[in-house]
């Protein structure tokens, strides 16, 4: 027996099957500790909001803006409403739908949350939809912007925007304001396709022509070749939709390529000139016309206070994602007030329908039929205000519903 | 015709940038057979240092560039002396585990310090925009990249070919054992080269902020590109990675321009075909290591 | 006793079931009943474990490194998703096998590219294949749903009897059963003469060829089998989450897999299972504590693991259990995790 042990090759292989036993114990201990340690604590008189956001990965800035805005709101308004303490549980999904689903399921089953909220991208919001229906709890969408989302579950409300809202309006506006030929550059995913289709419909109906259509992959380091293609098509303007965050790169390269000098304007939904990044984009962005729901330069007292408070707390300017989060938590508070603290999902959804309030972005309401947001869409131009770049609003379309749905 | 030339120009600029970013990795891999997946983290460090100096402290862009180099190289040498050198003898899997761990840490740390939004470096006006040269649009910034990276490449080639240090390095790459037998201090040569490679990455990171975008996820996003450059080019010389970078840059740009929907295919297919055809890279030695 | 009979003796001994293994599986089963609120994460661990076992088959036993194992996972996931979505194969178990076979076909086709070249080339070729498939899936968004993924998958009950529930109970036990069956098969394979010949190839391909082992054919066979396993893992993923999106092909998935296996140790089949438990629990723990910066702590753990050395770490972990074992069963029963890596 003993001699065998000393043979090098057998010694190496002998351990194999037995190894399992001890390592198995170790693993089991880790597992037990982990599972037990992470078991959720229960609090009696509290309302729990499960916030699922991309906190890491390419969409992380969206998640952080929303989380910041919610923190700010709760600092300002206190963390109790209708006698209940509001508790926020943040989960990171890195904008990957299956993680969203697991997170949502965990929140519902284990943490017994009364709301799920957040959702940085459309696939994430869609992934959670069947769970909201099954568990009968409200899903508050604070960022994702595809029209179909609210149709996927009767428990979804949205406080962000839909791409149809801004794209149709910029389409009409462009056709009426002397833009004849447009090239489009959109990210190749649901919101991008929504933006493209609604823009095309309205722009061509108004007599415009789309001369070049490029869909770019979502993960895209270098826009230069696509832009060169745009430039060679010689349009009057480029219609751009890229997710917030990529706008900066796009505008930089737009300028570098000399498209601004060639007289090609940039139009689009306001994602490309997101306030979050706008000020660093350089002067090339001046004159860009976008249609969108929110500008940090919105001239209302409420917005001025909001921007000042946000800047003070987090050191930079809030973008439209932050406003989506701010209004989302407001809606949750209001619904709880209306039900008197009752956390029945059906009652909460009923309470949310038809809510009207003044947001930093202007007056908004929740459409009682579609549970989608109704809001003003502003046409804005990038200008310099006090040495900083801002989207300055110059025309307003009031109480715009989601045209993506009213169509059918 | 002008479109082709403009694309070629863009592709060359892009490729040169990739080369500066990745050539440090080629050296690490070729010399010490060390898989350093954290290479992008050094590039990111350089980029962020440059950003802070230029945007927050008002340094001129061209003064900040060398500092990006120095800073990244300094981090490189500290890490090499304290951590990396313990791992040269370890298996590739350990090295992968370790350097991915470092990458994760750098990503989260930068996110914590600087936030997760993309950052831009304020450029002097002279570098912005494009000018026409016989109808071909030449971006000023890209021209500067080509000039800087071109000079660097020539300098590198000269150092490697003509100087004493260069011949030591080449000897160490060829056969570290024999080289140390001849009295060459291989670890020292390596530490220096490692730091220099990190410095180059840092410089590349500062230069690439404008074109590739700089955010905390930079090291993860571009890890694949660096690896492609090194494997396709082979890691036994710097000419290989250089040509591979150019090929990758031009292929990427042309692919996006002419077949926008098929963009990524062009690169990945090219890589697989080349690696099947020449498993050690275009310019690698044929004998497997 | 001659050397050859000695090897045979050990091969047999090693193939025998050890008490520890039985305890391990009973414990896993017990977890299923002990933590009824944690089915989702446990299912996630089981999927990852199966996936890691697949990589272990090629890495731990045949020495083929891969950074693109997600290619097969993704093909399995999309195959299962499409089968369910279009109602082609409604029964989950059958769909699972079909999806696995789809991945297997891809594995066989690509194995010819992978058996060439040195480690680094293999890493990049496998990575390239996965990235290429991801790009394909994005390009043909009319079939795959592109970046939005396959939405609206509804899974039929297993064998027409057991429906997938929201709490993931059915999904957990289903995954566990699949994992266990495939584990048994893998265990049989690696202890067979075929499995032993793979180890010979891993240790020295030239020598293996010299004693008459058809090196390339064996490598192709094991690579194809591993692809089947990965495909099954992918199909389980789609079936238990009812989602398939582009990230099934992602580089991060392959890289995480590598981490899991390296943490758990390669070449004894349990490495993937144990690594999956440790990795996921750490991830869960850190991301509960800090949803924004959990990557930092995961990174730190990885760095520490390497610096301390996995061998030493395993010894520390096993120190107390071994003390007990020594008391109960004597010196010989003392165990260690094998260190065999590429």
Of the residues C28, C188, C240, C291, the best mutation for testing chain A's interface (the one with the most A CB atoms within 10 Å of its CB) is C291
Is the Cβ pair B137, A258 closer than 8 Å? Answer: yes
Percent pLDDT > 90 in chain A is: 21
Contact list in A for residue C167 (CB cut-off 8 A) is: 105, 109
Residue C200 and residue C213 in contact, taking contact as beta carbons nearer than 8 Å: yes
Q: Is B117 on the interface with A (CB under 8 A)?
A: yes
Positive or negative: CA dihedral C236, C237, C239, C244: negative
Is the Cβ pair B101, C306 closer than 8 Å? Answer: yes
Residue A186, φ and ψ in degrees, nearest 5: -130, 150
Contact list in B for residue A258 (CB cut-off 8 A) is: 129-130, 137, 139
List the subunits that have 3+ CB pairs under 8 angstroms with A: B, C
Could you report the per-residue pLDDT of A175-232, keeping only the tens digit for each? Answer: 888 888 999 998 877 788 888 989 998 899 888 888 888 888 777 667 888 888 888 8
Is the Cβ pair A27, C274 closer than 8 Å? Answer: yes
Q: Considering CB atoms only, which of C27, C138, C267 is closest to A217?
A: C138
Q: Is A64 on the interface with B (CB under 8 A)?
A: yes
Could you report the per-residue pLDDT of A125-160, keeping only the tens digit for each? Answer: 888 888 898 889 999 999 888 888 888 889 999 998
How high is the pLDDT of residue B190?
Answer: 84
Q: Considering CB atoms only, which of A12, A19, A55 is closest to C292?
A: A55
Is the Cβ pair B108, C293 closer than 8 Å? Answer: yes
Mean pLDDT, rounded, for B144-164: 89
In angstroms, the CA B202 to CA B68 distance is 6
In angstroms, the CA C245 to CA C252 distance is 14
Q: Three-state DSSP class for C158?
A: strand
Contact list in A for residue B255 (CB cut-off 8 A) is: 225
Would you say residue A18 has pLDDT above 60? Answer: no
Could you report the per-residue pLDDT of A318-337, keeping only the tens digit for each? Answer: 988 999 999 999 999 999 99
Is the Cβ pair B100, C294 closer than 8 Å? Answer: no
Q: Considering CB atoms only, which of C120, C125, C258 is closest to B272?
A: C125
How high is the pLDDT of residue B289?
Answer: 39
Beta-strand (E) ranges in B104-220? 130-133, 136-139
Of the pLDDT bands very low, low, confident and very high (cuts 50, 70, 90), residue A7 is very low
Query: For the whole prediction, is pTM greater than 0.90?
Result: no
Residue C167 and residue A109 in contact, taking contact as beta carbons nearer than 8 Å: yes
Greater pLDDT, B269 or C8: B269
**Which residue of B lies nearest to A282 if distances are taken between CA atoms?**
B122
Fill in the DSSP letter of residue C164.
Answer: P
Q: Is C142 on the interface with B (CB under 8 A)?
A: no
Contact list in B for residue C295 (CB cut-off 8 A) is: 104-105, 107-108
In angstroms, the CA B120 to CA A114 distance is 40
Q: Is B212 on the interface with A (CB under 8 A)?
A: yes
Is the Cβ pair A189, C147 closer than 8 Å? Answer: yes
Is the Cβ pair C306, B280 closer than 8 Å? Answer: no
Q: Considering CB atoms only, which of B14, B141, B213 is closest to A249?
A: B213
Mean pLDDT, rounded, for A354-364: 91
Residues sharing a CB contact under 8 Å with residue B51, sequence separation 6 or more, in sequence order: B119, B120, B121, B206, B209, B214
Torsion angle of alpha carbons A323, A328, A331, A336, nearest 10°? -140
Fill in the DSSP letter of residue B23.
Answer: H
In angstroms, the CA B25 to CA B76 distance is 12
Mean pLDDT, rounded, for B173-177: 79
Q: Considering CB atoms only, which of C113, C125, C127 is closest to B224?
A: C127
- How large is the ipTM? 0.83
Is the Cβ pair C285, A34 closer than 8 Å? Answer: yes
Q: Is C254 on the interface with A (CB under 8 A)?
A: no
Could you report the per-residue pLDDT of A164-183, keeping only the tens digit for each? Answer: 888 888 988 888 888 889 99
Q: What angle do CA A133, A134, A140 make, to 5 degrees?
A: 40
Contact list in A for residue B217 (CB cut-off 8 A) is: 57-58, 60
Q: Three-state DSSP class for A290?
A: strand
Greater pLDDT, A170 or B4: A170
- Least confident among A4-18, A116-130, A371-385, B64-78: A4-18
How high is the pLDDT of residue B46?
Answer: 93
Q: CA nearest B72: which of B31, B26, B39?
A: B39
Interface of C with B in 215-274 (CB under 8 A): 251-252, 255, 258-259, 262-263, 266
How high is the pLDDT of residue B266?
Answer: 79
Greater pLDDT, C207 or B287: C207
Taking the CA of residue C66 and the nearest CA in chain A, the distance in Å comes to 23
Taking the CA of residue B93 and the nearest CA in chain C, the distance in Å comes to 7
Residue A299 and residue A391 in contact, taking contact as beta carbons nearer than 8 Å: no
Fill in the DSSP letter of residue C17.
Answer: P
How high is the pLDDT of residue C338?
Answer: 54
In angstroms, the CA B207 to CA A403 distance is 44
Q: Identify the top-confidence range among B97-106, B161-170, B183-192, C243-252.
A: B97-106
How high is the pLDDT of residue C83?
Answer: 92
How high is the pLDDT of residue B41?
Answer: 93
- Least confident among A118-127, B147-156, C117-126: C117-126
Ordered per-residue pLDDT tens for chain C, 342 residues: 445 556 677 777 777 787 778 888 999 899 888 888 788 889 989 999 999 999 999 998 988 888 889 999 999 999 999 999 888 888 899 999 999 999 999 999 999 888 877 777 888 889 889 988 988 888 787 788 777 778 778 888 888 888 887 778 888 999 999 999 999 999 999 999 899 899 888 888 889 889 988 999 999 999 999 999 999 999 999 998 888 888 889 888 888 898 898 888 888 889 899 999 999 999 888 888 888 888 899 889 888 888 887 777 777 777 776 777 667 666 555 555 554 443
How high is the pLDDT of residue B257?
Answer: 81
Counting one residue from chain A and one from chain C, the pairs whose CB atoms sit within 8 A come to 190
Is the Cβ pair C274, A25 closer than 8 Å? Answer: no
Question: Which phi-psi region, left, alpha or beta, contains residue A393 (left: φ > 0; alpha: ψ -120 to 50)?
Answer: beta
Is the Cβ pair A13, C24 closer than 8 Å? Answer: no
Q: Considering CB atoms only, which of A22, A92, A98 is closest to C20?
A: A22
Q: What angle do CA C133, B228, B105 make, to 5 degrees?
A: 90
Greater pLDDT, A68 or A252: A68
Is the Cβ pair A222, B253 closer than 8 Å? Answer: yes
Contact list in A for residue C170 (CB cut-off 8 A) is: none
How high is the pLDDT of residue A20?
Answer: 44
Residues sharing a CB contact under 8 Å with residue C326, sequence separation 6 or more, in sequence order: C333, C334
Q: Is A229 on the interface with B (CB under 8 A)?
A: yes
Is the Cβ pair A64, C292 closer than 8 Å? Answer: yes
Q: CA nearest B50: which of B176, B193, B214?
A: B214
Angle between helices C92-114 and C70-85 (to 10 degrees): 150
Q: What angle do CA A85, A87, A89 make, to 5 degrees?
A: 175
Taking the CA of residue C171 and the nearest CA in chain B, the distance in Å comes to 31
Strand partners, A80: A85
How high is the pLDDT of residue B44?
Answer: 93
Q: Considering CB atoms only, which of B100, B276, B279 is closest to C118?
A: B279
List the subunits that have 3+ CB pairs under 8 angstroms with B: A, C
How high is the pLDDT of residue B267?
Answer: 81
Q: What angle do CA B189, B194, B200 make, to 5 degrees?
A: 125
Of the residues A19, A26, A54, A215, the best mutation for testing chain C's interface (the one with the most C CB atoms within 10 Å of its CB) is A19
In angstroms, the CA C274 to CA C251 distance is 22
Q: Which residue has the tokens 């689903």?
A: A101
Is the Cβ pair B213, A217 closer than 8 Å? Answer: no
Contact list in C for residue B101 (CB cut-off 8 A) is: 298-303, 305-306
Q: CA nearest C174: which of C100, C86, C235, C230?
A: C235
Residue A339 and residue A371 in contact, taking contact as beta carbons nearer than 8 Å: no
In angstroms, the CA C291 to CA C251 distance is 22
**Which residue of A lies nearest to B214 if distances are taken between CA atoms?**
A249
List the subunits that have 3+ CB pairs under 8 angstroms with C: A, B
Q: Considering CB atoms only, which of C117, C118, C303 is closest to B101?
A: C303
Residue B124, φ and ψ in degrees, nearest 5: -65, 150
Q: Is C107 on the interface with A (CB under 8 A)?
A: no
Could you report the per-residue pLDDT of B12-57, keeping only the tens digit for each? Answer: 998 999 998 888 888 778 767 788 889 999 999 999 999 999 888 8
Q: Considering CB atoms only, which of A7, A13, A20 is closest to C24?
A: A20
Give the C-alpha distances (Å, rounded to integers) separating A154 from A106, A141, A346, C148: 21, 13, 9, 21
How high is the pLDDT of residue B284?
Answer: 64
In angstroms, the CA A228 to CA A185 distance is 12
Is the Cβ pair B261, C121 closer than 8 Å? Answer: no
Is the Cβ pair C128, B93 closer than 8 Å? Answer: no
Is the Cβ pair C18, A18 closer than 8 Å? Answer: yes
Other C-beta atoms lying within 10 Å of the C-beta of residue C181: 11
Strand partners, C304: none
């Amino acid at each position: 027996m003993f001699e065998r042990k000393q043979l090098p090759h057998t010694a190496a292989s002998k351990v194999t099957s037995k190894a399992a036993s001890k390592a198995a114990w170790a693993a089991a201990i880790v597992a037990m500790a982990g599972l037990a340690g992470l078991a959720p604590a229960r609090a009696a008189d509290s309302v729990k909001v499960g916030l699922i956001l991309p906190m890491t990965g390419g969409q992380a800035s969206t998640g952080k803006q929303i989380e910041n805005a919610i923190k700010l709101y709760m600092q300002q308004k206190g963390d109790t409403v209708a006698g209940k303490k509001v508790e926020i549980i943040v989960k990171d999904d890195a904008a990957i739908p299956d993680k969203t689903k697991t997170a949502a399921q965990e929140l519902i089953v284990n943490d017994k949350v009364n709301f799920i909220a957040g959702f940085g991208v459309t696939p994430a919001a869609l992934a959670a939809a069947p769970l909201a229906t099954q568990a009968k709890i409200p899903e508050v969408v604070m960022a994702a912007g595809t029209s179909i989302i609210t149709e996927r579950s009767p428990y979804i409300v949205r406080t962000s925007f839909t791409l149809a809202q801004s794209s149709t309006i910029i389409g009409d506006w462009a056709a009426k304001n002397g833009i004849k030929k447009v090239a489009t550059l959109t990210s190749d995913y649901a919101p991008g396709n929504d933006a493209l289709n609604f823009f095309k419909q309205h722009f061509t109906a108004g007599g415009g022509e789309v001369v070049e259509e490029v869909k770019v992959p979502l993960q895209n380091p270098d826009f230069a070749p696509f832009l060169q293609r745009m430039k060679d098509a010689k349009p009057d303007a480029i219609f751009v939709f890229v997710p917030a965050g990529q706008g900066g790169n796009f505008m930089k390269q737009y300028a570098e390529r000399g498209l601004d000098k060639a007289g090609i304007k940039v139009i689009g939904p306001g994602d490309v000139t997101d306030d979050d990044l706008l000020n660093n984009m350089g002067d090339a962005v001046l004159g860009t016309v976008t249609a969108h729901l929110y500008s940090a330069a919105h001239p209302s007292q409420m917005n001025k206070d909001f921007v000042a408070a946000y800047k003070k707390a987090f050191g930079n300017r809030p973008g439209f994602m932050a406003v989506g989060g701010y209004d989302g938590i407001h809606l949750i508070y209001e619904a709880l007030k209306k039900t008197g603290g009752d956390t029945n999902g059906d009652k909460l959804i009923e309470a949310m329908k038809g809510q009207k309030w003044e947001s930093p972005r202007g007056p908004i309401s929740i459409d009682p039929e579609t549970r989608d947001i109704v809001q003003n869409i502003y046409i804005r131009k990038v200008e310099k205000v006090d040495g900083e770049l801002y989207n300055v609003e110059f025309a307003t379309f009031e109480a715009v519903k989601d045209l993506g749905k009213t169509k059918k | 015709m002008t479109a082709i030339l403009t694309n070629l120009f863009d592709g060359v600029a892009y490729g040169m940038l990739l080369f500066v970013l990745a050539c440090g990795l080629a050296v690490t891999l070729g010399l010490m057979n060390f898989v350093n997946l954290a290479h992008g983290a050094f590039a990111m460090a350089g980029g962020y240092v440059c950003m802070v100096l230029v945007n927050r402290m008002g340094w001129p862009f061209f003064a900040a560039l060398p500092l990006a180099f120095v800073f990244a190289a300094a981090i490189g040498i500290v890490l090499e002396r304290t951590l990396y050198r313990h791992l040269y003898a370890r298996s590739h899997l350990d090295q992968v585990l370790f350097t991915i761990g470092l990458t994760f840490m750098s990503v989260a740390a930068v996110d914590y310090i600087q936030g997760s939004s993309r950052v831009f470096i304020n450029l002097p006006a002279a570098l912005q925009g494009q000018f026409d040269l016989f109808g071909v649009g030449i971006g000023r910034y890209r021209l500067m990249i080509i000039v800087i990276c071109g000079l660097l490449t020539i300098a590198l080639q000269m150092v490697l070919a003509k100087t004493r240090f260069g011949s030591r390095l080449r000897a160490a790459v060829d056969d570290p054992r024999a080289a140390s037998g001849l009295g060459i201090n291989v670890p020292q040569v390596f530490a220096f080269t490692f730091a220099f490679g990190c410095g180059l990455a840092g410089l590349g990171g500062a230069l690439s902020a404008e074109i590739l975008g700089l955010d905390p996820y930079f090291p993860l996003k571009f890890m694949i590109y660096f690896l492609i450059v090194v494997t396709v080019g082979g890691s036994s010389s710097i000419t290989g990675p250089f040509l591979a970078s150019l090929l990758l840059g031009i292929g990427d740009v042309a692919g996006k321009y002419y077949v926008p929907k098929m963009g990524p295919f062009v690169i990945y297919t090219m890589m697989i075909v080349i690696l099947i055809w020449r498993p050690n890279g275009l310019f690698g030695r044929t004998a497997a290591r | 006793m001659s050397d050859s009979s000695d090897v045979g003796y050990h091969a047999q001994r090693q193939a025998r079931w050890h008490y520890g293994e039985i305890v391990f599986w009973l414990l896993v089963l017990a977890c299923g009943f002990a933590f009824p609120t944690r089915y989702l994460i446990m299912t996630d661990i089981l999927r990852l474990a199966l996936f890691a076992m697949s990589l272990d088959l090629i890495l731990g036993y045949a020495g083929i490194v891969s950074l693109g194992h997600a290619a097969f996972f993704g093909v399995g996931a999309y195959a299962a998703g499409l089968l369910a979505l279009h109602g082609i194969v409604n029964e989950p178990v059958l769909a699972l096998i079909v999806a696995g076979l789809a991945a297997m076909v891809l594995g066989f086709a690509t194995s010819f590219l992978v058996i060439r070249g040195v480690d680094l080339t293999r890493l990049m070729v496998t990575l390239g294949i996965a990235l290429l498939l991801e790009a394909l899936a994005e390009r043909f968004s009319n079939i795959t749903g592109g970046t939005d993924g396959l939405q609206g998958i509804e899974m039929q009950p297993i064998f027409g009897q057991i429906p997938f529930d929201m709490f993931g109970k059915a999904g957990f036990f289903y995954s566990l059963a699949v994992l266990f069956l495939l584990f048994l098969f893998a265990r049989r394979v690696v202890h067979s003469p075929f499995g032993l010949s793979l180890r010979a190839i891993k240790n020295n391909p030239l020598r293996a060829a010299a004693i008459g082992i058809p090196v390339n054919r064996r490598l192709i066979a094991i690579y194809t089998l591993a692809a089947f396993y990965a495909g099954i893992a992918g199909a389980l993923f789609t079936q238990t989450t009812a989602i398939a999106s582009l990230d099934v092909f992602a580089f991060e998935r392959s890289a995480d897999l590598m981490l899991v296996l390296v943490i758990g140790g390669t070449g004894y089949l349990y490495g993937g299972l144990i690594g999956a438990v440790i990795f996921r629990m750490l991830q869960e723990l850190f991301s509960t504590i800090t949803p924004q910066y959990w990557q930092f702590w995961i990174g730190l753990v990885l760095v520490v693991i390497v610096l301390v050395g996995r061998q030493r770490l395993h010894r520390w972990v096993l120190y107390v259990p071994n003390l007990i074992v020594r008391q109960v069963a004597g010196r010989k029963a003392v165990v260690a995790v094998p260190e065999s890596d590429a």
